[in-house]
Amino acid sequence: MGNPEDVPNARRIRIDANLRREWDNVEWAPLSHSLDGQAVNISNAFWSIQWNDDPALFIAVRYDDADPVLQDSFVNSNTQDCVEIYVRGDNGSEPLDYSKTQVSAQHYIFGLSKDKTTVWKKLANIDPFPFHNPAKAAITLDGKSFIYEIRIPIYDEFYAKARRDCETTEVMEALEIGVDITLVDVGSTGYAGRKSENTMAGKANNADAIALHTLGE
């Protein structure tokens, strides 16, 4: 099981990178494991999750970055500081390589532009970002401190070309879903590494490598 294991029902959250009130009483889990490399610039990293019956996941992330590097869009996986989210809805979906189609699970990437105001998003291997996918994020960088607030839809199956072919997950209390996270650390000397909540490798390709969490009250 991933940490935090129990995901509370949020009902509604405004995506504005303001973590007061809506995130006051949640469990925060540390992002302290090196998934690859050595993310030496990242410290004090934590995340939390909530859900509602839209169906959607709400993810909050906060961490310090001693050497932030921003790009105005996604360039490649080792070129900018960003947050990667991996989501798998119904655990009966195919736990296979999903990196090309994003059907049985989805790999989202969110980052802050150089103007420190504009947020960009990427659905890995899919261009442009599908208009019918409502994922969104708000990000702030205050000095060396990042805050991310993210909304992610939950799908059993997602098809980039057509909304009508997509199947959203029927969410309910006690349902186990896959949701995972990595922080990408890039400094002025180049790529440093990734930090995660766990050490399960292959999240971007293998839907079985995405940590499980239980939807709670």
Name the stretches of the chain with pLDDT < 50: none
Which pLDDT value is given to residue 85? 98
Q: Which pair of structure tokens corresponds to residue 125?
A: 């291997």
> What CA–CA distances, in Å, run from 212 to 50, 62, 100, 157?
14, 21, 22, 17
Which residue's entry shows tokens 């736990």? Answer: 95
Model pTM score: 0.97
Sign of the Cα torsion 87, 137, 4, 54 reads negative
Number of domains in the chain: 1
Find, among 94, 70, 96, the residue nearest to 83 by Cα.
70
The single-letter DSSP state of residue 171 is -
Q: Which residues of 37-47 are buried (b: 16+ CB within 10 A; e: fewer)?
A: eebebbeebeb
Which two tokens mark 87? 């989501």
Domain coverage including residue 51: 6-215
Half-sphere exposure of 15 (CA within 13 A, CB side): 17
**Is residue 41 domain-resident?**
yes
DSSP SS3 for 132: coil
φ, ψ of residue 121 to 5 degrees: the values are -140, 155
What pLDDT is stored for residue 92 in this prediction? 72
Give the CATH number of the domain where residue 201 resides: 2.60.40.1190
DSSP code of residue 80: S
